Amino acid sequence: MPAAPPNKPKLVSLEAGRKYAWCSCGQSAAQPFCDGSHKGTDKTPIVFAAKHSGETLLCQCKETKSPPYCDGSHNNLDDGYELASIEEIEATKGAEDVARTGGKFGLSMLYGGAFALTPAPDDRCDDGDLQWAALINAANGAANLHVFEFTIGQETEWRVHDECDVVFFVASGAGAIEINGSRACLFSETGACVKRGEAFRFLPSETMYVIAAVSPGGGAFKKIARPSKTSIAINDRIVAVDPANRKSMADRFYQELVDHHAGAENITQFIGEVPKSRAAFHRHLYEEAIYIISGSGILWTRGSRTNVSAGDILYLPARQEHSLECTSDDGLRLMGVLYPSGSPAINY
Ligand code: FES
């Protein structure tokens, strides 16, 4: 019997409707499931029925606040957040250094489907009222998570996305957004959610650079004459950085900005701070896109690497083994979006 369970979640495959018994005492030799070892302790297993068929991450450290599922609490245990070992650093010394191609967006395609790109003004389409580019989509191998950029220097026309919620991040600039006739202020590092079918327009007071995530699938933004509904409550849709909502993950920090509380059904948006360090290779069950706000570093996959810095966009397929190393003394500041929704603290 293990004296202490591993400080990592276990990836398991569950069948919808089937009941499972999760070990809560930590003594089971069949982690994360119960094998009866709790007898004689004051613990009992948690019996649960799987809601969906498929892979999920069950807690093994027994510190989760949402048993039986991992909620990332393991990261804050001693040795819970794993940095790259000397052996791992040695083993990746021969990784191919993939430079930007020099083609559209200067794409660096890494092994396994992850990539980094550097948006450039010349690559943007001019729509008259704004300039835009599709940065992450099926054309460069993204499965479901699509990301656009908008440069907005004047009041825009009304637009709508009929297929998906849209999650915006104001990377720089300031102004306002109107959603179906209700207006809210936007400023740098604000997130905003526009629900599927809602009309929106931007009213910048200074040029705004905005990253937009749409998922699943890309679809199209359509211009419309005016919104059919005039007024809705949108206060919860706009989320700003708030030190009170900062969560720690060892010596890293993150804050969820737009998620289901702000109306986004499929996407979680967060802002993160990474100190100078290199995490051990890890995976997530979700696709992830990252916009680097400040700092520089190296995106690693097994066998390949590329340098990244402020203004770059990164894409990580679901289950892609990777590490984002921070090489800046001042750390990396980034905005991430996850599809399906999840927590940036949950990895395996
Ligand atoms: S393994 Fe326990 S919270 Fe992640």
Give me the CATH number covering residue 227.
2.60.120.10
Residue 345 lies in a domain: no
Residue 63 lies in a domain: yes
Distance 108 CA to ligand 1 centre (A): 33
- Number of domains within the chain: 2
Last residue of a domain, one of 80, 106, 121: 80
Number of Cβ within a 10 Å radius of residue 269: 26
CA 267 and chain centroid, separation: 8
Instruction: Ligand 1, residue 8: give the atom nearest the CA.
Output: 1
Residue 283 lies in a domain: no
Using one digit for the tens of pLDDT, what is the confidence trace for 314-347?
A: 999 999 999 999 999 999 999 999 999 999 999 9
What per-residue confidence (pLDDT) applies to 78? 86
Are residues 57 and 153 located together in one domain of the fold? no
Distance 7 CA to ligand 1 centre (A): 7
Are residues 143 and 49 located together in one domain of the fold? no
What per-residue confidence (pLDDT) applies to 123? 87
Instruction: Ligand 1, residue 9: give the atom nearest the CA.
Output: 1
Distance 6 CA to ligand 1 centre (A): 9
Using one digit for the tens of pLDDT, what is the confidence trace for 131-148?
A: 999 999 999 999 999 999
Distance 36 CA to ligand 1 centre (A): 21
Distance 59 CA to ligand 1 centre (A): 4
Which run of H or of E encompasses 79? none
Q: Residues near 64 by Cβ (< 8 Å), separated by ≥ 6? A: 70, 71, 73, 74
Distance 30 CA to ligand 1 centre (A): 16
Residue 38 lies in a domain: yes
Choice from 60, 65, 77 to test ligand 1 binding pocket (greatest atom count within 8 A of CB):
60
Contact 321, 112 (CB under 8 A): yes
Using one digit for the tens of pLDDT, what is the confidence trace for 281-301?
A: 999 999 999 999 999 999 999
Instruction: Ligand 1, residue 58: give the atom nearest the CA.
Output: 1
Measuring CA to CA, which residue among 200, 203, 211 is closest to residue 186? 203
Residue 158 lies in a domain: yes
For strands 96-97 and 304-309, give the pairing: parallel
Instruction: Ligand 1, residue 64: give the atom nearest the CA.
Output: 3
Last residue of a domain, one of 188, 214, 240: 240
Res. 226 pLDDT band, cuts 50 70 90:
confident
For strands 199-214 and 182-186, give the pairing: unpaired
Are residues 143 and 227 located together in one domain of the fold? yes
Q: What percent of the chain is modeled with pLDDT above 70?
A: 97
Measuring CA to CA, which residue among 83, 80, 79, 74 is closest to residue 277? 83
Q: Which residue, by CA, sits nearest to atom 4 of ligand 1?
A: 70
For strands 190-194 and 146-152, give the pairing: unpaired
Residue 119 lies in a domain: no
Contact 109, 115 (CB under 8 A): yes
- The yes-or-no verdict on residue 5 having pLDDT over 60 is no
Are residues 61 and 135 located together in one domain of the fold? no
What are the beta bridge partners of residue 288?
Answer: 316, 338
Are residues 138 and 70 located together in one domain of the fold? no
Q: Which region among 79-88, 167-176, 196-205 has the lowest average model confidence (pLDDT)?
A: 79-88
Are residues 148 and 233 located together in one domain of the fold? yes
Using one digit for the tens of pLDDT, what is the confidence trace for 21-45?
A: 999 999 999 999 999 999 989 999 9
* Encoded tokens for 249: 């993950």
Choice from 12, 56, 58, 63 to test ligand 1 binding pocket (greatest atom count within 8 A of CB):
63
- pTM: predicted TM-score of the whole model, two decimal places: 0.94
Using one digit for the tens of pLDDT, what is the confidence trace for 175-196?
A: 999 999 899 999 999 999 999 9
Are residues 74 and 137 located together in one domain of the fold? no
Distance 251 CA to ligand 1 centre (A): 17
Instruction: Ligand 1, residue 61: give the atom nearest the CA.
Output: 2
Choice from 10, 12, 59, 248 to test ligand 1 binding pocket (greatest atom count within 8 A of CB):
59
What per-residue confidence (pLDDT) applies to 4? 47
Residue 56 lies in a domain: yes
- DSSP result, 220-278: -EEEESS-SS-----GGGEEE--GGG-EEETTEEEEE-SSGGGT-SS-EEEEEEE-SB-
Could you tell me the residue range of the domain that residue 28 belongs to? 1-80
Using one digit for the tens of pLDDT, what is the confidence trace for 72-125?
A: 999 999 888 999 999 999 999 999 999 998 666 689 999 999 999 999 888 899
What per-residue confidence (pLDDT) applies to 104? 64
Last residue of a domain, one of 80, 98, 118: 80
- The yes-or-no verdict on residue 3 having pLDDT over 90 is no
Pocket of ligand 1 (CB under 6 A): 8-9, 59-61, 63-64, 70-74
- The yes-or-no verdict on residue 20 having pLDDT over 90 is yes
Q: What is the mean pLDDT of the chain?
A: 94
Rounded to 5°, angle at Cα 108 from 103 and 111: 135
Instruction: Ligand 1, residue 60: give the atom nearest the CA.
Output: 1
* Encoded tokens for 62: 């027994």
Distance 80 CA to ligand 1 centre (A): 9
Are residues 75 and 138 located together in one domain of the fold? no
